[in-house]
Every structure is written in C-alpha cells, then in structure tokens.
Structure 1
Amino acid sequence: MMKTLVRLVVGLLVLEAVAANPRFSRQADLDSYDDGNYDVDDVNSENQEYDYEDGPTIEDPEIEIGTLAPPDYNYPMPEASLEEQEEEEELPIKPQLIPQGSGGSGVLMGPNTQKGMPTCLLCTCLGGSVYCDDLKLDNVPPLPKDTTHFYARYNRITKINKSDFASMNKLKRIDLTANAISSIESRAFMGLPELEELVIRENHISQMPDLPETMTLIDASHNNIESKGIPKEAFKDMTGLLYLYLTDNEIDYIPVPLPDSLRSLHLQRNNIQSMHEDTFCNLHDFNYIRNALEDIRLDGNPVNLSRTPQAYVCLPRIPVGDLI
C-alpha cells in the first residue's frame, strides 16, 4: 500500500515536470524505462507522438555564426600632405643660369663659344671644374665665372690671350698639356688671385710667363724654354711654391734664387753645365739647413756634381745626376 502511494506521488511530480519542460519528459521516460515500468513499445509510441528537437529550447539564446567583415584600413590622408602634393605638382621647374664667363653672354649652359654652342655643352662642367680635353679646340673657350679648375689637354690651342682668363677670380688650376702653344701674352695669368697650379707641358713655349706669387705647382716640361726665357728671380717671391718641373727644355743654369718652400725641382735633360756652391745653400750661414728640398733631378745634364761638394751640405739628399 505504501509503495503504491509513493509511486503515485512520484508520478504526479513527473507529470508536472513534463508539462513544464519537454526535455525533462524524455529524461523522465528514460528513467522510468530503467525502472522497468514501461515497455519498449510504449516508449517508442510516445516518442513518435512527441516531436523532439535537439536544438536549443526557447529558453536558450540563439547564436548566429558567421564571418566578421575585415576592418576598414583606408585611413584618410592628412590635409597638409594633400596640399603639399598639389603645390609640388603646380610649381613649375625654373632653370638656373650658369654665371657668364670671360668673353660671352650668360646662357643656360655657360657662355657661348666661337663654335656657336655653350661651353658646358661642348665641354663637361662638374661643379667648378670644366673639362675640355681632346676636342680639337683652337683657343681657350669662354668659361663660367665660378670655374675653379680648367682642363683643356690634347687640343690645338696655339696662343694664350690675356682676355682668356680675365675676371676669373676663383680659378685655381689651369692644365693645357699637349697643345701647340707657342705664345703667351704678357700678364695673361697675373690677374688670377687664386691661381696655384699651372701645367703647360708638351707645348712649344720658349718664354716662361709671368705668374702670381700664389703658385704652388709649375710644370713647363717638354718645351723650348731657354735660360734667357725665364724672367730674373721669377720664383723668388713664391713663398708657397712646392713643385717646379722644367724637364726637357734648353735651360743653361738653375734658375736661382729658389724659395725655401720648394720640395721638388726637376731639371733633367737640359743643358746645365755648371753649378755654384751657393745655388742651394747659404755660404754665410753654415747652420742653414734646407730640409724641404728633398727631390732634385739633374740627370741628363752635362754637369759634374762631384766638382762642387760644398753645394749640397745644407740639403737632406744629394741631387740625382752624374758624379764623374
């Protein structure tokens, strides 16, 4: 009796749970099935009548699964940058004129030459350097005023005029190697306050030009220069002169006095026949030492260096030449 009552109460509780939750009803049926109170057929018939869903119940939140759209990384360009781009596109390119040279009107590529084209189109201009090598030039072309180094090697130039380098206040080096120069106008290089190096080797020059005191290098080798073609005391006041090259000329004697700054003197293959004891040293001051003059070339001359041994006591090295 008591057992039956208990089962009745449990049955009522199960009915109430089923009314509230269908999922619980299925669990209850399975529990009852385990107890052996229901037949398999009864359970199957009940499941056929009840439309069971494995999906979420009304009480479970619905979750939609999908692919999130990528974030938008197309950031707007700052207004300042857009304005700068517009300004760059609108600004026209303004060509800058190269300053006019010593004998022509200023144009885009330097002054015009006698061939009717700008110097910097005929030659090559790099910074302050102008290269006019091997162009079959008959004369020095007009140069931009800012030229510092001028090269016109292996041409056909026959004469240097005073007007060729007029007003060239920044010119430091002139190289006219291997031309046909036989004449240089008086003071053609004297109006150059910055000139330091002059190379006029392998020409037909017989007269050394007047040069400013600012010179550091002079190369007039392989010409026709005689001793009488060198002005008296031509190098005395060049206190910064380091290199003097007069190789392969017709010089009869060493062009003294030479500045104490001189390091290298090349006079090989000339016609020097004698040397004095005071050519390099000071006979009145036996403590005088000429440390700078380390390189003296006299080989190829008919002079006998052993005849004047006192002429080298102040030098760091004996000159190169015949000792017999």
Structure 2
Amino acid sequence: MALFLRLVSALAVLSSCLCAPPGVPDVDTFDLENYDLNGETDWENIDLNNYGETYDYDDLDPAIEVGTVAPPSSETASPQNIPPPDYEEEVTLPPRPTQRPSQAPVPPSLDFQGPGLFGPETGLGLPTCLLCMCVSTSVYCDDSDIEQIPPLPKETAHFYARFNKIKHIKAKDFANLNKLKRIDLTANRISEIDQDAFRSLPGLEDLLLAENQLRGLPELPVTLRHIDAKNNQLESAGFHQEVFKDMTQLEFLYLSHNKLDYIPTPLPESLRVLHLQYNNIQTLHEDTFCNRHDPNYVRRPLEDIRLDGNPIVLSHFAQSYICLPRLPVGRMR
C-alpha cells in the first residue's frame, strides 16, 4: 500500500513537469509559505516607501520639447507669408521724363523784380505770402534766412524780418505800401539803404533798425514816432542836416552804441526818450535841449536822457540841460 502511494505521487510530479509551459520557473524557487495562493496581497505588510523602486516609470512618459515660442494658431499667417527681418520692399518709381513736353508751360521763377508772376494784389503783384507768414495785416519773416525784402501784400501794416541776412534796402522794396505802420529789421546785415526806401511811406510810425551795420540813415518820413538804430556804426556825418526837426510825433529815439560825435539837433518838442549812451559825444550846446533866448522855457516831455559811456563831462555844460525836469544820466566829473 505504501509502495502504491509513492508511485502515484511520482506520477503526479512527472505529469506536472511534462505539462508546465516553457519559461515557467522551477517550482523550488517559490516560497510556498509566503506565496498568496488565494490571489490576494498582504497590503498590511507592504513597504510603501520602497514599492516600485525597481522599475523606472519615467520611461513610460512621452518626451515633450519645450520651446520659447508658442506654436502658431490656425489664424496666424503661414510662414510663407511672413517676410524675413531684413526684408525691404522695392518701390519702382515712374521714369523721370528726359525733356519737358512741348505743350507744358514753363513755371515762372520767383524773380522779385520781374512783372510776369505778380498782379495787383501786392506792391509788386504777389497774390499772397509765399516766403513769410501773413496774419491779418501783419507779415512775419523772422529768422527765415532771406537776403532781401520779399514782395509784401498791399494791405501790410506791420512787417517783421528780424534775424535774417538782408544787406541792402532798395527804394522799391516798400513801394505802394501806403498802409505800412511798422518796419522791424532788427539783427540783419544791413549796411546800405536807398534814400527813398522809407520817405514815400505816408503812415510809417515805427522804424526798427537795431543791430545792423549802418553808417548813416536815409531821409525819413515825418510821421515816425519810434526810431531804434542802436548797435550800428552810425556816424554824425551819416545824418542829414536837421533830420529830426519836422518829426512832430517822434517820442522815442534810440541811438546808443554807435560812433556819434554830437547830438543831431534840433530835436522835436514831442521827444520823451533819448538814448545816446556809448557814443563819442564830447560837448553840448545851450540850444541842444533848451532855449537860451527864453530863460523860463521848460521842456517837460523829455524825461529820459542817457549820455553815460561818452567822454562828455555833464557838469561842464549845466546851462544846456537847465530846462529839463530831470538831469541826464552821465559822467559829472
């Protein structure tokens, strides 16, 4: 009986070995005591800290390349439509004609002296301001690098051409400008003025010629109220005799920083301000400001006389300014 049981056990073992699929490990390698025959895992004894360390799960993650620019959307233009950074668009200009068509009129040049371009709207016919800015009856040509007086509208009342390169004032520059009241040519290079440049202006009141290169003044209209010719090279010989005598409206006369040897007399009674500082005046006559034949004469309007910066000593000529409400400014000793 015992022998029979041993044979049955041997046959069972042999049968299991013959029926096992290839690649199955040997039965002796299994720990049958700890093996979960029921298919259940003992979760209470699992070491969760070391669970899965023997397998590299990173190999299962797909590789993703990270860039700095997001992929273009469907609304973005395709790369074929995007020009490179150094792209420059070529522009083809129409060919320049080699010669002017025979039927095309030749444009007139801006010749201030020619009558072709100009009509009756200005002194020389210019219909509107081209070189300057016109505001109502005022024309502004300041700091525009002009070298001569441009044509002005006939209605011009105030003309400003300061800080330019004008050298010569011609008689026809202000022709037919009967409404002109103010001319300001401060800080140019004027060294010559025609004798008739201002004389024919019936309404001129203010003539400003400061900071130029003038050695003399032309004949001036008697309507002037304000003359400013300081900072020039004016000499006494450059004035006409009794140049200011008939200017019954003259109030302000600025002739400082010149080369005058004496005060051009007689001075009109209307004069209020006379600036002659920094010239070469050395003497005064009794009739320069006062009337030696009338000891009671008082010249009240003339309140501001500047003679400082001249070689004259005013205390030597007290009788020349005894009629004035205020003493002249200058050296007394």
TM-score normalised per structure 2: 0.63
Question: Does the residue aligned with 1:163 lie in a helix, a strand or coil?
Answer: helix
Partner residue in 2 for 1:215: 224
Aligned pairs for 1:281-296 within 5 A: 281-296=290-305
1:62-86 alpha-carbon deviations (Å, 9 max, x no partner): xxxxxxxxxxxxxxxxxxxxxxxxx
Partners of 1:166 and 1:232 lie apart in 2 by 25
SS, match of residue 173 in structure 2: helix
1:125-173 per-residue CA deviation (whole Å, 9 max, x = no partner) reads 1111000000000100000000000000000001000010000000000
Distance 1:179 1:194 in 2: 24
**Aligned counterpart, 1:58:** none
Amino acid at match of 2:270: S
Unaligned stretches of 5+ residues in structure 1: 1-97, 111-119
Out of 144, 156, 177, which is 1:147 matched to?
Answer: 156
In the alignment, which of 219, 224, 230 is matched to residue 233 of structure 2?
224
Q: For 1:103, which of 96, 102, 124 is the aligned residue?
A: 124
Partner in structure 2 of residue 163 of structure 1? 172
The offset of 1:104, in angstroms, is 3.2
Percent identical residues = 59
What is the DSSP-based 3-state SS (H/G/I as helix, E as strand, rest coil) of the residue aligned with 1:150? strand
Kindly indicate whether the alpha-carbon contact (under 8 Å) linking 1:100 and 1:143 is maintained by their aligned counterparts in 2.
Answer: no
Give the letter for the 1:157 counterpart.
Answer: I
- Where structure 2 has 5 or more consecutive residues not aligned to the other structure, the ranges are 1-118
Q: Give 1:299's aligned residue.
A: 308
CA distance 1:127–1:99, change in 2 (3 Å): farther
Give the Cα–Cα distance (whole angstroms) in 2 for the partners of residues 214 and 278 of structure 1.
24
Task: Look up the SS of the partner of 1:308 in the other structure.
Answer: helix
CA distance in 1, matches of 2:203, 2:288: 30
Say what the alpha-carbon RMSD is for the aligned residues: 1.2
Deviation at 1:186, TM superposition (A): 1.2
SS at match of 1:310: helix
Amino acid at match of 1:104: G
The answer (yes or no) to whether the contact 1:99–1:146 under 8 Å persists in 2 is no
Answer yes or no: is 1:267 the counterpart of 2:276. Answer: yes
**What letter is aligned with 1:257?**
P
Q: Pick from 202, 207, 219: which aligns with 1:198?
A: 207
Partner residue in 1 for 2:185:
176
Q: Distance in 1 between matches of 2:287 and 2:134?
A: 47
**Normalising by the residue count of structure 1, what TM-score does the alignment of the two structures yield?**
0.65
Letter in 2 for 1:170: K
Q: Is the 8 A contact 1:248 1:267 kept in 2?
A: yes
Q: What code does the residue aligned with 2:136 have? A: G
Residue 267 of structure 2 aligns with an amino acid whose one-letter code is: L
Aligned to 2:260: 251
Cα pair distance change 1:312/1:105, threshold 3 Å: closer
CA distance in 2, matches of 1:191, 1:276: 33
| 1:99, distance to aligned residue in structure 2 (A) | 6.4
- Counterparts of residues 62-77 of structure 1 (less than 5 Å): none
Code of the residue aligned with 2:231 in structure 1: it is: H
Does the aligned pair in 2 maintain the 1:294–1:316 contact within 8 Å?
yes
Shift of 1:187: 1.3
Shift of 1:275: 1.1
Shift of 1:124: 1.2
> How many pairs does the alignment contain?
215
Q: Which deviates the most, 314-323 or 276-285?
A: 276-285
CA contact (8 A) 1:125 1:131 kept: yes
CA deviation vs aligned residue, 1:19-46 (integer Å, no higher than 9, x gap):
xxxxxxxxxxxxxxxxxxxxxxxxxxxx
Cα offset, 1:105, TM superposition: 3.8
- How far apart, CA to CA, are the structure 1 residues paired with 2:287 and 2:130? 53
